[in-house]
Amino acid sequence: MNEEPERRTKARRRLTIDLTPLRVSRDFRLVWLGLLITSAGSQFTLVAVFVQVKELTGSAAAVGGTGLAYVAGLVAGTLAGGAVLDAWDRRRLLMLAQVGLASGSTILLGGALAGEPPLWLVYAGLAVLAAGSAIDGPTRSAMTPRFLGAPLMPAAQALNQVVWNTAALLGPAMAGLVVARWGVTIAYAVDLASIACMFVAAALLHPMPPMAGDHRDTGLSAIREGFSFARRNRLIMSTFVIDLIAMIFGLPRALFPFLIVEQFHRSPEAIGLLFAAPAVGALLGALTSGWTGRIRRQGLAVILSVAAWGVAIAAFGWSGAWLWFALAMLAVAGWADVISAIFRVTILQTAAPDRLRGRLFGIHILVVTGGPRLGDFEAGLVARLASPTFSVVSGGIACLIGAGLVALAYPELRRARAADAS
């Protein structure tokens, strides 16, 4: 008589998020809560920058140019951070990263308070923000195994996905309203306050120096070692390549300020819906991701997820004035993206040795953060040469084709399996 309720309970556990990491580790809990707050704040800056540059220039190419500025800072931060990521106390490094993020946010806030800042100042603020994020993300990722240990890594990754996508869901919607009613100044101030919260969380952590007896190189030799390993390991490299393809060609967010008015004929306040829709799908994907632990062919799952992303983005571009359909396709794209991320990070965690994990996650952050910014530039450039709609549709198709080419060029990814899947 009790078998049916027991089966239902087991089924729910296979689908729902495991909260064990939050219960067993104070340090993980602090970082997780700080990440929730600062991730939401970063969405305010994302929306504010796009709107501000559009108002300053009226140019889709200039809006897309924010991506190049961000990538420039990201590369600089990755190179600087890569020299010390696996050698310094990670608690202090995380605090230093917040100082860098706060500096970039302060530049943007100061420019907004001045009225109409020069475009180069906005780009400079973004570059400094990016440099800070290039140290922040890899440091947090490298700390997690020390907080929890290997058995709880999948649960920690799922919890982080919930944080990122909850922030991506709520942040843009609130930011759209804030920017429309009170301007970009308040949006930048919210982001700066959120960074301060993460700084406090980092200050409360226990020290985390390099493990005893574990020699770590610093400087250029450390950077070279990390990039050299990534280049030689074709499985790791394939996950970077396929994600870059998806983000560069299939991410139309820089065009949202134009599409919401010109294609969907809505007021600028509605821009938050376009930013939030992918997060809705991604959050649903993360909350119901229990089944991913039973997938053996993880590499094939990455390829299929990226292909699904491309199809959904192309369909979004073809949606005409049907906003409801466009939002649905963006949600499907978000679902595909989070499934791809779960498997890509799992592959990276499995293939990366501990002594290189910080540097390899530095490259990972460079890809997952820099790729979308390059996508902003690509989308804006193609929109200027053709039209916003053509930019979106062609990008989705290019993403689909790119996923197929990666599957052919990297059989290591196509054949990658989970050794312990059940």
Residue 54 covered by a domain: yes
Number of domains the chain is built from: 1
pLDDT digits (tens, 9 = 90+) for 158-206: 788 888 888 877 777 788 888 888 989 999 999 999 999 999 999 999 9
Question: Which residues of the chain carry a pLDDT beneath 50?
Answer: 1, 420-422
Domain of 212: which CATH number? Answer: 1.20.1250.20
Closest CA relative to residue 25, chosen from 194, 132, 152: 152
pLDDT at 351: 78
Residue 9 covered by a domain: no
Residue 5 covered by a domain: no
Residue 12 covered by a domain: no
Residue 121 covered by a domain: yes
Domain that holds residue 179: 20-415
Inter-residue long-range contacts of 178-184, CB under 8 Å, 24+ positions, other chains counted: 178/44, 179/47, 179/48, 179/51, 180/267, 180/268, 180/269, 183/112, 184/48, 184/49, 184/51, 184/52, 184/112
The tally of CA atoms less than 13 A away on the side-chain side of residue 266 is: 18
pLDDT at 421: 42
pLDDT at 231: 86
pLDDT at 107: 96
Which residues have C-beta within 8 Å of that of residue 248, sequence separation ≥ 6? 371, 374, 375, 378
Residue 422 covered by a domain: no
Q: What are residue 301's phi and psi, to 5 degrees? A: -65, -40
pLDDT digits (tens, 9 = 90+) for 87-121: 788 899 999 999 999 999 999 999 999 888 999 99
Closest CA relative to residue 277, chosen from 320, 305, 313, 314: 313
Residue 1 covered by a domain: no
Residue 70 covered by a domain: yes
